[in-house]
Chains A and B, each alone.
Chain A
Amino acid sequence: MGTFIQLVVDGLSQGSIYAALALAIVLVNQATGLINFAQGGLAVLSAYIAYVFVQLGLPTILAILIAVVISFAIGAVVERFLIRRFERGDPDTAVVVTIGLLTLVTGIAALFWGYNNRQFPSLFPLGTVDLFGAVVSIRSIGTTLTILAIMIVLQLLFLRTKLGLALRAVADNPSSAAFSGLPVGRLLMIGWGLAAGLGAIAGSLVAPKLTLTPGMMDIALVYALAAVILGGLSSPVGAVAAAWAIGILENLAAVYVPLIGHDLKIAVPFILIFVILIVRPQGLFGRKVVVRV
């Protein structure tokens, strides 16, 4: 039983890593209707920016906040001068542009900081607490709570604020949003900026565990995409719940289903998605999209 609870707790903290990135992907998708493959790469770049300020002697929390602000600007600039050109065109082209951006950003991080693993200080102490017979590190509790907080803020942003409504309107239908007097361009920039800022938090949260390398988020990105699709592209709560479910089920399946084992556990989230999408094509928490003829 102790092992079982430990596995669930471990899965939850692993799922939080996916959730952090998944939230940023949901945000960009809500704000611009695009799936951004570069989200992980941008998050890594932000974590490196925070790292620079930590090296300069600033407290970690301050360094992360500065990185959030800088990342917001980077996100907005990238939207304005790169993504803008592709937003109204073929969606496949836009996705490939984000792939190119991922390659470029990873290369830039490597150019400045090399490929050596760098230690990023954690916001939370290394200690552990006992919880129902399982050992939980304070770090993963801290990460999980931060993710929860961000999720709630995002959910409120989208559903309860004018900005959130405007962002969704622009993503949904840019031209009619423009007709109703919304500053479409500025809103798109804000959407990307917010997502990049969120990515900075995500990157800084997972960097202590994964250690900082240019490709730190490459694998997490795949899981985050899975979580986003499983949870429904439009729902922060859904993305987080899905990311946790993936983390936990993956662990349990690896240990308790010998046929799957630790090597094929990565198949579990995908099988799960398949089954769920057959039942609910719009994802667990997503809204059904009606296509006009």
Chain B
Amino acid sequence: MVAMASIVALAVSGCTRGGGGEEGDGEGAAASPGITDTSLTFGITTPLTGPTAGPGNCTADGALAYFGVKNAEGGIEFGDGKTRTIEIKTYDDQYDPQKALANFQQMVAEDVFAAGIGLGTPTNRAWREAAIDEEFPQVLAMTGDPLFSDREESPWQLGLVATYPQEGNAFGTLLAESGEDHKVAILSQNDDYGDGYVEGFKEAVADADNIEIVGELTYEATDTSVDAQLTELAATGADVFFNAMSITPLVISSLQKAQQLGWTPSWFLPSNTSSPVAILEPGGGAAFPGIYTVAFSEAAGSPAFQESEEGQAFMAALGEYTNQDGVPGFPHCVWSWIGAATLEQAFKNMEEPTRESFMEALLNISDFDAPFMLPGAAIDTTVDGIPAVSQVVVQKYNGKGYETAESFG
């Protein structure tokens, strides 16, 4: 009885089999689902509630703000000459892979043209193969998992942010090139995030005789304290601390704890937890001889950003089209904005209203001067194995913001 009732309920809300994207062999001319002459629907499934909701909301909000502005201006002129507005549909997956897949299935049923920009490795992985089966673009995923940028394995995918090994490698290279002897202590998050950073770093210093790794520990993303790890690592006497940590409060308390222990090495912090205002100031980052990070975009909290015309437009758009209140605490808002700009670039170049044409356009972006990119960093979607952000730069904290670091020390 119950089953029958639910079936009836479902039948009312669902769509019919023929209407989906199943018959994709219309040879180019027929438009894919989710795109009309005046609009295009783009889906984002990302954690909007739950423990990862902070970066998760930012991940959706940057794109919402960007296209909010573009739509208010009348829309975007596509490569086929038609002007379309971009409707962003957001879905909450609460960082649950199963819900992410369900959201993808719902997007297919609701005729979403393409999806992406969502945060998370397991959540994106959960619908990667389903998207390939459906020939559905899953693009600019907010994860440093290299799988999404492997063109062979993931023909309908592309990552947005630099892969974790890319970032770790950039810092390792800088350190190895310094020529001085350094003892390195490593603390990393016990998942693909931390592992990726450490892998990239070790690869870069593998042949350098001047670098010695004296301690290597992990922590869980759910931990509320890493004091024990810091106590243990401080005892190694390392002069460089490679801290691949993605949890904001833990980074702050590690900075404080290290000072309390009287351990003041040079630090490395990943791009998503190196915010000067939200992390280094409360953590007392100025006490350390140098704090290095890897970045490709400007930080929304920096004075230069806030004073620039582009930055003010960004803040105004966030204020108007999202629930963000003041300067966002996570860099993902800016990244999502960059992702949206990259999407726009692809829309401008796609010549047919089809998913195939969209992917072709998206995978052919080079020399694109995206907003908020640092000098030296770049968007280039044409390199196999590398996500949209192809180049990153190492930066050093100067007490207020970051400056690009040419060399270590």
Contacts and interface: CB of A to CB of B under 8 A. Distances in A.
Q: Do A and B come from one complex?
A: yes
Interface of A: 2-3, 6-7, 10-11, 13-14, 17, 106-107, 110, 114-117, 119, 126, 128, 135, 137, 209-211, 213-215, 218-220, 251, 254-255, 261-263, 266
Interface stretch (B33-41, B121-129, B143-151, B253-261): B253-261
B60 to A, nearest CB: 12
Contacts of A213: 54, 249
B228 A115 contact: no
B282 A263 contact: no
Contacts of A266: 220
Closest 4 CB pairs of A and B: A116-B329, A115-B54, A10-B227, A211-B249
Nearest to B231: A6
B252 A211 contact: yes
B28 interface: no
A215 B53 CA distance: 9
Contacts of A14: 224-225, 227
B249 A210 contact: yes
B303 interface: no
A177 B218 CA distance: 53
A11 B228 contact: yes
B325 to A, nearest CB: 6
A251 B220 contact: no
A110 B228 contact: no
Interface string B219-260: 110111101110110010000000000001100110010001
B57 interface: yes
B68 interface: no
Contacts of A254: 228-229
B278 interface: yes
Nearest to A113: B325
B49 interface: yes
Interface residues of B, number: 38
A21 B256 CA distance: 24
Contacts of B228: 7, 10-11, 251, 254-255, 262
Contacts of B253: 209
B217 A262 contact: yes
A17 B278 CA distance: 23
Interface string B197-226: 000000000000000000001111011110
Contacts of B223: 219, 262
Contacts, number: 91
Contacts of A215: 50-51, 53
B49 A110 contact: yes
A107 B50 CA distance: 9
A10 B225 contact: yes
Contacts of B397: none
B324 interface: yes
Given A3-B231, A209-B225, A262-B219, 13 more contacts: A13-B227, A115-B53, A115-B57, A117-B329, A119-B282, A126-B256, A215-B50, A251-B228, A255-B232, A261-B218, A262-B190, A262-B218, A263-B190
B232 A135 contact: no
A251 B226 CA distance: 10
B220 A117 contact: no
A10 B223 CA distance: 14
Contact of B54 (A11, A116, A209): A116
A117 B278 contact: yes
A111 to B, nearest CB: 9
A106 B50 CA distance: 9
Contacts of B50: 215
20 contacts: A3-B235, A7-B232, A10-B231, A110-B53, A114-B323, A116-B328, A117-B54, A117-B278, A117-B329, A128-B260, A135-B261, A135-B262, A210-B249, A219-B222, A219-B223, A219-B224, A251-B228, A262-B219, A263-B190, A263-B219
B330 interface: yes
A105 B176 CA distance: 50
B334 to A, nearest CB: 14
A104 to B, nearest CB: 12
Nearest to A207: B249
A2, A3, A14, A115 — most chain B CB neighbours (10 Å): A115
Nearest to B57: A115
Nearest to B227: A10
Interface in B280-318: 282
Nearest to A107: B49
A116 B330 contact: yes
Contacts of A220: 224
A115 B47 CA distance: 11
Contacts of A7: 228, 231-232
B272 to A, nearest CB: 13
Nearest to A261: B218
Interface in B315-343: 323-325, 328-330
Contacts of B248: 117, 211
Contact of A210 (B51, B224, B256): B224
B330 A263 contact: no
Contact of A135 (B51, B260, B323): B260
A135 B282 CA distance: 20
A201 B261 CA distance: 28
B244 to A, nearest CB: 14
Nearest to A13: B227
Contacts of B227: 10, 13-14, 251
A17 B54 contact: no
Q: Which of B190, B217, B224, B329 lies at the interface centre, i.e. has the most chain A CB atoms within 10 A of its CB? A: B224
A209 B232 contact: no
Nearest to B279: A117
Contacts of A219: 222-224
Contacts of A117: 54, 248-249, 278, 329
Contacts of B328: 116
A3 B232 contact: yes
A35 B282 CA distance: 36
B252 A262 contact: no
Contacts of B330: 116
Given A116-B330, A117-B248, A17 B260 contact: no
A40 to B, nearest CB: 12
